[in-house]
Structure 1
Amino acid sequence: MDDAKDLLQFLENSSIIDFTFIRQEYEKMNRQKILDQTKIWKATDGRWKAYVDVAGKRRLIAKSSRVALEDEIIETYKDPKIKFKECFDSWASEKLEYGEIQKSTYDRYQADYKRYIKDTELEYKEVKKIDELFLENFIKSTIASQHLTAKGWGNLRTLINGSMVYAHKHSYTEFRVSLFMAELQLSRKAFEQRVVNDEEQVFTRDEETRIEKYIADNPDMLSLGVALTFCTGLRVGEVAALKWSDYKGDFLSVTRTEIKYIGEHGERIADVRERTKGRDGRRQVVLNDMAIGILEKLKAYMGDSEWMFTRDGQRIKAVWLSLRITKLCKELGMPHRSFHKIRKTYATKLIDAGVPEKVVTKQMGHTEILTTKQFYYFNNEQVAEIKERLNKV
Structure 2
Amino acid sequence: MNKKRLSEVIPLWKADKRNYVKKSTFSTYVLLVENHLLPYFGENYDVQEMDVQNFVLEKLENGLSQKTVKDILIVLKMILKFGAKNKWITYESFDIQYPTSRKSHQIEVLSRTHQKKVMSYIQEHFTFRNLGVYICLCSGMRIGEICALTWEDIDTDNGIINIRKTIQRIYVIEDGERKTELLIDTPKTKNSIREIPMSRDLLRMLKPFKKIVNPAFYVLTNDSKPTEPRTYRSYYKNLMRFLEIPDIKFHGLRHSFATRCIESKCDYKTVSVLLGHSNISTTLNLYVHPNLEQKKKAIDQMFKALK
Q: CA separation in 2, counterparts of 1:150 and 1:327? A: 31
| Alignment equivalent of 1:267, drawn from 143, 163, 179 | 179
**1:93 maps to 2:15:** yes
Q: CA separation in 1, counterparts of 2:214 and 2:86? A: 55
CA contact (8 A) 1:344 1:377 kept: no
* One-letter amino acid of the counterpart of residue 117, structure 1: L
Paired residue total: 286
Q: Residue 65 of structure 2 corresponds to which residue in structure 1?
A: 149
Q: CA separation in 2, counterparts of 1:228 and 1:290? A: 10
Q: Residue 77 of structure 2 corresponds to which residue in structure 1?
A: 161
Q: Residue 5 of structure 2 corresponds to which residue in structure 1?
A: 83
* One-letter amino acid of the counterpart of residue 238, structure 1: E
Aligned-pair identity in percent equals: 19
Q: Residue 277 of structure 1 corresponds to which residue in structure 2?
A: 188
CA contact (8 A) 1:116 1:142 kept: no
Q: Which moved more, 1:330-339 or 1:158-167?
A: 330-339
Q: CA separation in 2, counterparts of 1:293 and 1:246? A: 16
**1:204 maps to 2:126:** no
Residues 108 and 366 of structure 1: CA distance in aligned 2, closer, same or farther (over 3 Å) = same
* One-letter amino acid of the counterpart of residue 214, structure 2: D
Structure 2 unaligned regions, length at least 5: 294-307
Deviation at residue 352 of structure 1 after TM alignment: 0.8
**1:306 maps to 2:223:** no
SS at match of 2:191: coil
Q: CA separation in 1, counterparts of 2:26 and 2:283? A: 27
Q: How does 1:202-281 map to 2 (within 5 A)?
A: 202-248=109-155, 249-263=158-172, 264=174, 266-273=178-185, 275-281=186-192
Residues 376 and 233 of structure 1: CA distance in aligned 2, closer, same or farther (over 3 Å) = same
Q: Residue 296 of structure 2 corresponds to which residue in structure 1?
A: none
Structure 1 unaligned regions, length at least 5: 1-77, 387-393
* One-letter amino acid of the counterpart of residue 123, structure 1: G
For 1:169-216, what per-residue CA distance to the aligned partner results, in whole angstroms no more than 9, with x for missing partners? 11013333xxx23xx151442xx6555445xx1111111111112212
Q: CA separation in 2, counterparts of 1:116 and 1:290? A: 48
Deviation at residue 221 of structure 1 after TM alignment: 0.6
Deviation at residue 154 of structure 1 after TM alignment: 1.1
SS at match of 2:190: coil
Deviation at residue 229 of structure 1 after TM alignment: 0.8
* One-letter amino acid of the counterpart of residue 21, structure 2: I
Deviation at residue 357 of structure 1 after TM alignment: 2.2
Q: Which moved more, 1:353-362 or 1:258-267?
A: 258-267
| Alignment equivalent of 1:112, drawn from 28, 32, 40 | 32
For 1:272-324, what per-residue CA distance to the aligned partner results, in whole angstroms no more than 9, with x for missing partners? 11x22133351111112122123236547x73241323355322223333222
Q: CA separation in 1, counterparts of 2:287 and 2:114? A: 18
Residues 341 and 225 of structure 1: CA distance in aligned 2, closer, same or farther (over 3 Å) = same
| Alignment equivalent of 1:327, drawn from 230, 238, 246 | 238
* One-letter amino acid of the counterpart of residue 368, structure 1: N
For 1:317-356, what per-residue CA distance to the aligned partner results, in whole angstroms no more than 9, with x for missing partners? 2333322221111112222222111001101011111112
* One-letter amino acid of the counterpart of residue 75, structure 2: L
Q: CA separation in 2, counterparts of 1:250 and 1:271? A: 28
CA contact (8 A) 2:216 2:224 kept: no
CA contact (8 A) 1:149 1:193 kept: no
**1:373 maps to 2:303:** no
Q: Residue 171 of structure 1 corresponds to which residue in structure 2?
A: 87
Residues 266 and 143 of structure 1: CA distance in aligned 2, closer, same or farther (over 3 Å) = closer
Deviation at residue 255 of structure 1 after TM alignment: 1.2
Q: Residue 23 of structure 2 corresponds to which residue in structure 1?
A: 103
Q: Residue 270 of structure 2 corresponds to which residue in structure 1?
A: 359
| Alignment equivalent of 2:42, drawn from 98, 123, 130 | 123
Q: Residue 201 of structure 2 corresponds to which residue in structure 1?
A: 290
Q: CA separation in 2, counterparts of 1:358 and 1:170? A: 43
RMSD: 2.8
Residues 197 and 366 of structure 1: CA distance in aligned 2, closer, same or farther (over 3 Å) = closer
SS at match of 2:167: strand
SS at match of 1:280: helix
Q: CA separation in 2, counterparts of 1:345 and 1:377? A: 13
* One-letter amino acid of the counterpart of residue 108, structure 1: T
Q: CA separation in 1, counterparts of 2:268 and 2:289? A: 16
Q: CA separation in 2, counterparts of 1:222 and 1:259? A: 18
Answer with 1 or 2: which has the greater Rg: 1
Deviation at residue 131 of structure 1 after TM alignment: 3.5
Q: CA separation in 2, counterparts of 1:196 and 1:358? A: 22
Q: CA separation in 2, counterparts of 1:377 and 1:331? A: 31
